[in-house]
Amino acid sequence: MTKHSVIFFDIDGTLLNHKKELPQSTKEAIFKLKEQGHIVAIATGRAPFMFADLRKELGIDTFVSYNGQYVVLNGEVLYTNPLNTSSLLKLTEAALLNNHPVVYMDHEDMRANVPEHAYIKESIDTLKIGMFPTHDPSYHEGRDLYQTLLFCPEGEEQQYEQEFSDFDFVRWHPVSVDILPRGGSKAHGIEQILKKLGVSNEDIYAFGDGLNDIEMLTAVHNSVAMGNAEDSVKKVAKYVTKSVEDNGITHGLKMVGLLS
């Protein structure tokens, strides 16, 4: 190909398999894209500090993190969209009454408002990031937070959805929900990068597998759902590739013509 494209990849279930490992075929495909002059970027719900090692391994310095709330282009912060502090304080107070802990997250760290809780350990452990939030109930004071984790069983987040219209709630684990600014999404974060780069929509590609990828896969012209994605995700994608466990990234890049 002579044209240079921008390709956004989700992390969990897309770049990384279910053991949180980077398949060798995926690594080789990423470097082939870069050799061809394409821009390879990450679009994830994770915090920047949760995938610093992966960025270093793949040589990636452009990313959309926190589902669009903290965007970096070529190593420089391009766009931020923090949570409403007063609404977050009220939500935290309500959550404490329900024994639903929260974890505050900025671009550098994450801190829990309770010393320990089984739900926090259960869900954070699945990320296999080698770190755990420490206790600091005042971490939200005097700093911008781009995402907060609410820990509660499925369905119990509905009471917060009804009361706090400033936020969107996206479940990522049976006992944990992402709290994001209303209307924030990977798609919106990607839009900030595309406006800066001036790239046409036909030269944009995105790969994902989760519910938080739906807006991204709907908005991006060349969208690819992983074979391990839920049906609702596959329905909005232009293409469906193989599972992450079955060289899905390499197969998908060949499907869309980026690799031969």
Residues labelled as active-site residues: 10
| Token pair in block for residue 93 | 């107070």
DSSP class of residue 108 equals S
Q: Count H helices, E strands: the chain?
A: 9, 14
Q: How far apart are CA 65 and CA 105, in angstroms?
A: 12
Structure tokens at 19: 């053991």
CA atoms of 138 and 52, how far apart (whole Å): 26
CA angle 213, 218, 224 (to 5 degrees): 65
Cα distances (angstroms) measured from residue 248 to each of 44, 78, 106, 203, 214:
18, 30, 32, 20, 18
Task: Quote the radius of gyration of the chain (alpha carbons, Å).
Answer: 18
Alpha-carbon gap, residue 104 to 178, rounded angstroms: 11
Distance CA 12, CA 17 (A): 7
